[in-house]
Chain A
């Protein structure tokens, strides 16, 4: 089955870390540079994320995300480098286009922030099985109903895509064109979408019954088949992240007070 999850089960140390450890890293990677307020803070966290992804053999999977972000970052550089309201000092010119130092610095700040967030999220998303994260959240008291919704999205959306494919085939079999001009596509919309919606509604009712008869609404403590126990590495990693956060926060408070 095609999956919409980006999780890559490559058995690396990163995939074996506890999901909460990676959430701590995510919090640290996003908050530390924001608290320090320095471009260098972003740069350091980006380098750390790169190293983590490389050592976790996930860098190839992260590259498309980075490539996608470059389009946005380039646009930001172009706009702010050329037309930011703080622009005063020209840094360089390409033909008649003059790029200003202030705008480029501002763009660098935003661009690095985007890249940093993307890479730190990539670490969590690429190395964590969604169901494992949900299980751990449920163990900590997160509602099983919300947990089910999150888990089922990863299963049911690919199923709906499969159903959509079958429905397209069924309607093409009855002579309906599904490709061509805009008008053809608009005409095909209703015959394609109606069965998807109706099937989904029918399936939802049956699935609700299926969950009910398998004790989903049962009161009492659940069992988790794969509880992820925290290891020494998890504890060290988490405390490093927490320490980084505390240091950055302390530094920020010190700067405010001084």
Chain B
């Protein structure tokens, strides 16, 4: 009998007609690292919640088939019991903290206290996991005072401390910087080696390709395949299923590079092996294609001698200088580098303690946010911080009407924005009935409709699958064509390299690099300082240059 068995699992949420899970069957053994992929709405999170009994015990609804963990039926065993064997980590670390503990130490101990684990053993386990997740230094801090990435590591530590035999991770790295997410993957891989079975839901296909033994591919609640990464990513129907294979595989498809078994390589090492086998073979090396504006870009922002701090003893920016023109610009850097602070200063939500911020030559450092709303648009990271209307169209028209746009024009702009974000069919829907990824697009549309010259996007790709990212890529291209400045904070380096003409690298409030993607991403020392990774095309290029 396998450690985890899923047999003909079917599930439908209450008050819905469509099956969220439709006849899922597979088995997993101890120590396996399994990725779960599929576009938004494929049933990935629902499946993970069925492993720990939340489906159907917490959500209710119609349930059929069977999930057994080490011989225990998940559907009927109380979650509070089952969680000794199955640990679950969500995408949003904020909501998985207990909300009742003052320190990281107590937060991580919370689950162990509930199970009555002896205090000495709790100390030992905490000592181990806090070091393992590199959060020992925060043990006395309030968990809510940490950055998103640090908070996520606290959340992972809280579950790891309970020493589960199966660990379910639902997009745990979506809010982490590249090195932070690499650390999580590496930690999880080490856990798999200790015999823990890992299930990871992820949109980062390159990571899954590197770490997973097997991948479960879902589509509209149905199991499409359960196989090795090579076989999954070599499928010809991935685009139809809303999956973008790893860059390495896309490159190999173009260059017709195969593994001995006829599948495409999914990791760099496999490409190198394939080329070593065929020494005569010449390939075109991957490269970044910088986009260049047809006309000389107009200046937008001038930041001069900027000084800013939240507290007197901890300055964020000191004598910071930056000029921004019309080119679509990505601001990158590790969690806590000052990226969000910078864009909030540009938007006027924060006021500099010294220095000036000029927008088209005018000092805006003392202007109110509302007075800048018609010129600078800002899409917040969490769409739920702004949505309040009962219809998508009303939500999108809210901003234009606020800045004094006539109702007819506001409607016209709102419809254009909905078309650009591919939300036109949802114009009459309640935004709260939409998926998080769609709500993010509603938030983007509500700012696009204001027709501002500058659009700031804070982590727009979080929670987006391949098709969602494609929509955002088209939005950026379309706005740039109109001569608008798109300024985005991002952790997805491939997306940055693909969509932006200019990249600004920040670390600890300092400007580390500024240039086109192909100029910035070759500066390895800068990337290391800023805890960033090269985009995958450059990583592959670097590896192939070594063997050619």
Residue from the list B52, B114, B369 in contact with A218, Cβ < 8 A = B114
Q: Contact: B58 with A209, CB < 8 Å?
A: yes
Partner of A209, one of B54, B113, B116: B54
Residue pair B373, A151 in contact (C-beta under 8 Å): no
Q: With an 8 A cutoff between CB atoms, is A182 at the interface?
A: no
- The answer to whether A173 touches B113, judged by C-beta atoms less than 8 angstroms apart, is no
Query: How far, in angstroms, from A232 to B110 measured CA to CA in the complex?
Result: 30
> Of A167, A214, A220, which one neighbours B385 at CB under 8 angstroms?
A167
Interface residues as binary, B365-386 with A (CB distance below 8 Å gives 1, 0 otherwise): 0001110011001101010111
Asked if A236 CB lies within 8 Å of chain B CBs, one says no
Chain A residue nearest to B400 (CB atoms) is A175
Per the bound structure, the CA–CA distance linking A222 and B119 in Å amounts to 10
Would you give the shortest CB distance from A223 to chain B, in whole angstroms?
5
Tell me which residues across on chain B come within 8 A of A173, comparing CB atoms.
Answer: 347, 349, 369, 373, 377-378, 380, 447
Please measure, in the bound complex, the distance between the C-alpha atom of A152 and the C-alpha atom of B102, giving whole angstroms. Answer: 10
CA distance A213 to B79 in the complex (A): 6
Determine if A223 and B118 form an interchain contact, defined as CB atoms under 8 angstroms apart.
yes
* B300 CB, nearest partner CB in chain A, Å: 17
Question: Does A225 lie at the interface of the complex (its beta carbon under 8 Å from any beta carbon of B)?
Answer: yes
Query: Which residues from B are CB-within-8-Å of A222?
Result: 113-114, 116
A159 touches B115 (CB 8 A): no
Which of A38-46, A97-105, A197-205, A243-251 is near enough to bind chain B? A197-205
Kindly state whether residue A57 has any CB partner on chain B within 8 Å: no
Is B101 part of the binding interface, using a Cβ–Cβ cutoff of 8 Å?
Answer: yes
Partner of A131, one of B96, B101, B399: B101
B residues within 8 A CB of A207?
95-96, 98-99
Contact (Cβ within 8 A) B52 A213: yes
Bound complex: CA A209 to CA B402 (Å): 38
B221 within 8 A of A: no
Q: Which residues of A contact B84 (CB under 8 A)?
A: 215
State in angstroms the CA–CA spacing of A47 and B457 once bound together.
60
Interface flag for B432 (CB, 8 Å): yes
Answer whether residue B533 sits at the interface, using C-beta atoms and an 8 A cutoff. Answer: no
Find the B residue at minimum CB distance from A194.
B388
Chain B residues numbered 381-413 whose CB sits less than 8 Å from any CB in chain A: 382, 384-388, 398-399, 402-403
Count of A residues near B, CB < 8 Å?
51
Q: Is B349 touching A172 in the complex (CB atoms < 8 A)?
A: yes
Q: Does A166 contact B (CB under 8 A)?
A: yes
- Residues of A contacting B122 with CB < 8 Å? 223, 225
Task: Count residues of B near A (Cβ-Cβ below 8 Å).
Answer: 68
Q: Which residues in B have their C-beta under 8 angstroms from that of A221? A: 116
A1 close to B97 (CB less than 8 A): no
The residues of B that contact A209 with a CB separation of less than 8 Å are 49, 54, 58, 88, 90, 96
CA distance A41 to B284 in the complex (A): 93
Residues B388 and A190 in contact, CB atoms below 8 Å apart:
yes
Q: Judging by beta carbons under 8 Å apart, are B385 and A212 in contact?
A: no
Contact of B158 among A214, A220, A226 (CB under 8 A): A214
Give B239-269 as 1s and 0s: 1 = Cβ < 8 Å from A's Cβ atoms. 0000000000000000000000000000000
Q: How far is the CB of A111 from chain B (nearest CB, A)?
A: 36
Interface check B117, CB cutoff 8 A: yes
- CA distance in complex: A166, B115 (Å): 37
Question: Counting CB contacts under 8 A, is B159 at the interface?
Answer: yes
Distance of A176 Cα from B398 Cα, bound (Å)? 9
* Distance in Å: Cβ of B335 to nearest Cβ of chain A: 17
User: Does B111 lie within 8 Å of A155, measured CB to CB?
Assistant: no
The answer to whether A223 touches B349 (Cβ under 8 A) is no
CB distance from B394 to the nearest CB of A (A): 11
CB within 8 Å: A-B pair count? 174
Q: Is the CB of B388 within 8 A of A217?
A: no
Tell whether B493 is near chain A: CB-to-CB under 8 Å.
no
Contact string against A for B residues 75-113, beta-carbon threshold 8 Å, 1 for contact and 0 otherwise: 000111101101110101011111111100010011111
Residues of A contacting B342 in the complex (Cβ-Cβ under 8 angstroms):
none
- Decide yes or no whether A79 CB sits under 8 A from chain B: no
Taking CB atoms, residues of chain B closer than 8 Å to A56 are none
Nearest chain A CB to B75's CB is how many angstroms away? 15
* Contact bitstring A103-129, B, C-beta under 8 A = 1, else 0: 000000000000000000000000001
Among candidates B86, B144, B387, residue contacting A155 with C-beta atoms closer than 8 Å: B144
From A172, A210, A212, give the contact of B95 (CB < 8 A). Answer: A210
Q: Which of B99, B106, B370 contacts A172 (CB 8 A)?
A: B370
CB distance from B79 to the nearest CB of A (A): 5
Cβ contact within 8 Å between A213 and B83: yes
A176: which B residues are within 8 A, CB to CB? 370, 398, 402
Say if the beta carbon of B232 comes within 8 Å of chain A. Answer: no
Q: Does A224 contact B (CB under 8 A)?
A: yes
Interface check B299, CB cutoff 8 A:
no
> A4 to chain B: closest CB distance in Å?
12
Q: How far is the CA of A171 from the CA of B400 in the complex (A)?
A: 12
Partner of B386, one of A131, A151, A195: A195
* A92 close to chain B: CB less than 8 A: no
B481 at the interface (CB under 8 A from A): no
B403 touches A175 (CB 8 A): yes
Interface flag for B334 (CB, 8 Å): no
Question: Within 8 Å CB of A175, what residues of B?
Answer: 370, 373-374, 399, 402-403, 450
How far is the CB of B58 from the nearest CB of chain A, in Å? 6
State how many angstroms separate the Cβ of A158 from the closest Cβ of chain B: 8
Cβ-neighbour of A215 out of B83, B92, B106, B344 (below 8 A): B83
A170 to B90, CA, bound (A): 25
A174 an interface residue at 8 Å Cβ cutoff? yes
Q: Are B99 and A155 in contact (CB under 8 A)?
A: yes
Contact yes or no, B384 A220, CB < 8 A? no
Shortest beta-carbon distance, A234 to chain B, in Å?
Answer: 21
> Is the pair A170, B385 in contact by a Cβ cutoff of 8 Å?
yes
User: Does chain B have a CB within 8 A of A239?
Assistant: no
What is the interface of chain B, defined by CB distance below 8 A to chain A? 49, 52, 54, 58, 78-81, 83-84, 86-88, 90, 92, 94-102, 106, 109-119, 122, 142, 144-145, 158-159, 162, 344, 347, 349, 368-370, 373-374, 377-378, 380, 382, 384-388, 398-399, 402-403, 432, 446-447, 450
Closest 8 CB pairs of A and B: A175-B402, A175-B373, A194-B388, A174-B399, A214-B111, A206-B95, A151-B100, A215-B114
Would you mind naming 5 contact pairs between A and B with Cβ atoms under 8 Å apart? A173-B373, A175-B370, A191-B398, A198-B387, A214-B158
Other CB < 8 Å A-B pairs besides A194-B387, A211-B98, A218-B114, 5 of them? A131-B102, A172-B369, A174-B447, A175-B450, A212-B80
